[in-house]
Structure 1
């Protein structure tokens, strides 16, 4: 329990700084893609920021691993974290740093108690749309047969791919671009499933609340009916008459016609 508290405290303290670092990563990743003709020092600085952010997330994983008493169990419970840390070391490819950062950021965002499901899904949609557009533009812009040349084309393609519409007017031609398309399609299907399930759960909860309110009102009417019957019986006993001939409660009087 002592170590568990340390891990929780570490995650609480580092959650906001890591989110800010992720925003820096997004900016560093977007600048070279949107401005490929910028000076070399800009590209070098952006690559340094990307690696620094990845190193921060890797250090966070290593620290949580050290603070956990059963480290092998921690590794088994967090396989995506380990994969995200190891991906950029396999091949020096910017897309691998992008994927690893998104995986680590998603894990930390899901663990934040103040982030609701709606906020998480909306943020995931915006993040995937933005990074998917930048990634496919980086891959397809210089392809000989590519037709995704501008950021507008990339955003439109990402949106139609995530929603699984696929008009076919824009499509990746490289192997890496098609791999990105598969990832966006699977992510879009998963997010649409979460949104659909959330909407269905909302309708079901509304129906259950309405049904519970109706049952409560029915029970209240039954209790009032029993109470009125008991009062009539008591009035009949006091008047010395039978409850069957007890006077009934008069209903509303209709107006007398002139």
Structure 2
């Protein structure tokens, strides 16, 4: 029954929203600790690795269940191809926290924040989360690579800031294949996300300083004047 399948899919996604958002945060934290503190005691390192793998397993299970209960599985896979990409790139999963925040906003008939502020919040948080994940992965790939220029996490953050803002100083560049692939992704995301933040902020400023008579919905002058 297609309608029953759609209802089950919506119920599963609604039920898993909060747990998977928390699991995304746990995954990011445990991965960050393992990357930034490489000299952890073996017991702690193994525990963090186990938690990281367990949360990734939840992501895989969630995707498999959603595909299984979808009315048309192949159509669902084609339309939600990004979900499949995220399964293989779990560092992108923390973006589910933004999805959860959006769902909380949608519970109100009238959003508490204006459109411009919401766009700035979503785009800004997306840039922070994706930037943090990208800097971690590049640091993990580059620090021991032959001929690498990015040897510390501070250098990785500096490289990220200059790349995501499309400044591109070129003083630090990744040398590994995966590092360069991430760099290309950061460039595209930088243009989209930073552009969205700047554009929304400009629109918000214009609205804030616009006088009442300059608003589009303001009544025109009386006839005969």
Q: Which category describes the TM-score, using the shorter chain as reference length?
A: 0.7 to 0.9
**Count of residue pairs brought into register by the alignment:** 208
User: Does structure 2 conserve the Cα–Cα contact (< 8 Å) formed by 1:28 and 1:50?
Assistant: yes
Deviations 1:184-211 (CA, angstroms, capped at 9, x unpaired):
112211212322443465578777x834
Query: Which residue number corresponds to residue 212 of structure 1?
Result: 216
Query: Which residue number corresponds to residue 20 of structure 2?
Result: 18
What aligned pairs does 1:176-191 form with structure 2 within 5 A after superposition?
A: 176-191=178-193
1:172 aligned to 2:174?
Answer: yes
Q: Could you tell me how far 1:29 is from its partner in structure 2?
A: 0.7
Q: 2:172 aligns to what SS in structure 1?
A: coil
Aligned with 1:100 (options 90, 99, 121): 90
Q: TM-score, normalised by structure 2?
A: 0.78
Unaligned runs of 5+ in 2: 106-117
What aligned pairs does 1:235-246 form with structure 2 within 5 A after superposition?
A: none
Query: Which residue number corresponds to residue 39 of structure 1?
Result: 41
User: Does structure 2 conserve the Cα–Cα contact (< 8 Å) formed by 1:110 and 1:120?
Assistant: no
User: Does structure 2 conserve the Cα–Cα contact (< 8 Å) formed by 1:160 and 1:167?
Assistant: yes
1:68 aligned to 2:58?
Answer: no
Aligned with 1:154 (options 156, 172, 176): 156
User: Does structure 2 conserve the Cα–Cα contact (< 8 Å) formed by 1:147 and 1:170?
Assistant: yes
Deviations 1:33-92 (CA, angstroms, capped at 9, x unpaired):
11111122222222222221121111111222222222222112111212333x3xxxxx
User: Does structure 2 conserve the Cα–Cα contact (< 8 Å) formed by 1:172 and 1:178?
Assistant: yes
User: Does structure 2 conserve the Cα–Cα contact (< 8 Å) formed by 1:22 and 1:53?
Assistant: yes
Q: 1:168 aligns to what SS in structure 2?
A: coil
The structure-2 alpha-carbon separation of the partners of 1:192 and 1:35, relative to structure 1 and needing over 3 Å to count, comes to same
Query: Which residue number corresponds to residue 80 of structure 2?
Result: 78
The structure-2 alpha-carbon separation of the partners of 1:67 and 1:19, relative to structure 1 and needing over 3 Å to count, comes to same
Q: 2:216 aligns to what SS in structure 1?
A: helix
Aligned with 1:193 (options 180, 192, 195): 195
List structure 1 segments (4+ residues) > 6 angstroms apart after TM superposition: 203-207
User: Does structure 1 conserve the Cα–Cα contact (< 8 Å) formed by 2:24 and 2:94?
Assistant: yes
User: Does structure 2 conserve the Cα–Cα contact (< 8 Å) formed by 1:57 and 1:101?
Assistant: no
Q: Could you tell me how far 1:173 is from its partner in structure 2?
A: 2.4
Q: Which has the higher contact order (CA 8 A, sep 6+)?
A: 2
Q: Could you tell me how far 1:20 is from its partner in structure 2?
A: 0.8
Unaligned runs of 5+ in 1: 88-98, 227-258
